[in-house]
Amino acid sequence: MKYAIIIPAGAVDEELDELDGRTPLQAAVLPTLDRLAATGRLGSAFTIPPGFPADSVPALLGILGYDPRAHAAARGPLEALARGLTLEPGDQVFRCNLVTVTDGHLADFTAGYIGALEAERLIDDLNEALEQPQARFVPGRSFRHLFIWKGAGDLPDLHTTAPQAILDEPISKHLPRGERSDPLRQLVRWSQKILAEHDINVVRADLAEAPANCAWVYGQGPPAVLPTFADRYGLTGAVVAGTDLMRGLGAALGMEVMEVPGATGLPDTDLEAKAHAALEALERHDLVCVHVEAADEAGHLGNPRQKLAIMERIDREIVAPLAARLADEPAHRILVMPDHPTPVALRRHTTDPTIFLISGTGIASNRGDAFDEVNAAAGELQVDRACELMEYFLRR
């Protein structure tokens, strides 16, 4: 048996007037996904346990069959793992976004999808101005970077907030809080002073582009210690992803992390290259997991037509070639499951259930005819804990 898991992040949405009362999934033309839905099984699942924030980390753990209540993982350490960073015991690593703050409110958590060269220079200049030898920024890609606080030790009572969860809200209400939060609060405010008059931001303002005028830190935690996917399920696997978060999670689970030029984790990501890497991975692994962040980004942008178009591209450039390749196998299964909803009307994640389809050998149904929220709600499988679905997908 060969398996494919496709995660179109944030694809689930709500009915929108702009789409004549339909969701982006309902309005999109998705021939391959709809065919798989008509021949497979549909359902919905809660990927965010009660009491957890609407964040991708617990959602992705759940999809891959790990209960986030039992297996701790944090964004910062996972992204550091994806980048091959070496951390010493006691170091704390945070995700750091270059964001846009306007009149004290979080206006854009991507700083207008700032370009890589501009972002790298801003991060370098922050490091040059930072007079704390025990701390440093690590440049990444576009708005996504890391911040390392060396020798910080355990910070169990430190609470930080993802910037995408506080769009249009005052940042003063969401600065780091709890024990030993003062240095981080000062860091955020200091970054605003350094970046406010930076020549890059002056030019961006002249071009009516969102300035990258604040470094926002969050997502700290201990390194993830997880049983490998092979140990847990007896299968080898590979991950195809553009985001360091998903790449780091794959590495933590002992999966091969495919290198894909052009996989950016942004709306401009090269889907055909990702499909090619997934097909290559299937030649030597039992399972491949393909993660696409672009629909989630469209949700955060509040752009329903971009979200619709991205899903059509995913259907055409990811799902169709993988489904065709797997159909040549003696036995195969496909799971398509967004990690969480990202409604364009809210521009943020929610803890509402997501949807999924399972299709392939030994899976049959006549309950649905399209991959969308309405058909999934009427499907046979309604799952309270997403982490329980993996066993069904692999073993049923």
| Average pLDDT value for residue range 28-51 | 96
Residue 348 — pLDDT band, cuts 50, 70, 90?
very high
pLDDT score of 47 more than 90:
yes
Beta-strand runs (E) in 171-281: 177-178, 214-218, 237-240, 256-257
Q: d(Cα 217, Cα 187) in Å, to the nearest integer? A: 9
| Average pLDDT value for residue range 92-105 | 98
* CATH fold label, 2-73+224-395: Alkaline Phosphatase, subunit A (3.40.720)
Take residue 378 and report the two structure tokens written for it: 């009427």
Q: What is the pLDDT, as a whole number, of residue 204?
A: 96
pLDDT in tens, 271-322: 999 999 999 999 999 999 999 999 999 999 999 999 999 999 999 999 999 9
Cβ atoms of residues 13 and 344 within 8 Å: yes
pLDDT score of 366 more than 80:
no
Q: What is the pLDDT, as a whole number, of residue 326?
A: 98
Domain ranges of the chain: 2-73+224-395, 85-218
pLDDT in tens, 214-271: 999 999 998 889 999 999 999 999 999 999 999 999 999 999 999 999 999 999 999 9
Q: d(Cα 177, Cα 52) in Å, to the nearest integer? A: 17
Nearest one of 67, 87, 127, 91 to 388, comparing CA atoms: 67
More confident residue, 13 or 156: 13
Nearest one of 112, 99, 314 to 214, comparing CA atoms: 99
Cβ atoms of residues 350 and 340 within 8 Å: yes
Mean pLDDT of the chain, nearest integer: 96
Q: d(Cα 114, Cα 91) in Å, to the nearest integer? A: 28
Cβ atoms of residues 147 and 96 within 8 Å: yes
Take residue 184 and report the two structure tokens written for it: 């981080």
**End-to-end Cα spacing for the chain:** 12
**CA distances to 163, 187, 189 from 169, in Å:** 10, 19, 16
Q: Which helix (H) or strand (E) holds 296?
A: helix 294-301
Longest dimension (CA), the chain: 64
Residue 20 — pLDDT band, cuts 50, 70, 90?
very high
Q: What is the pLDDT, as a whole number, of residue 396?
A: 75
Give phi and psi for 138, each to the nearest 5.
-120, 115
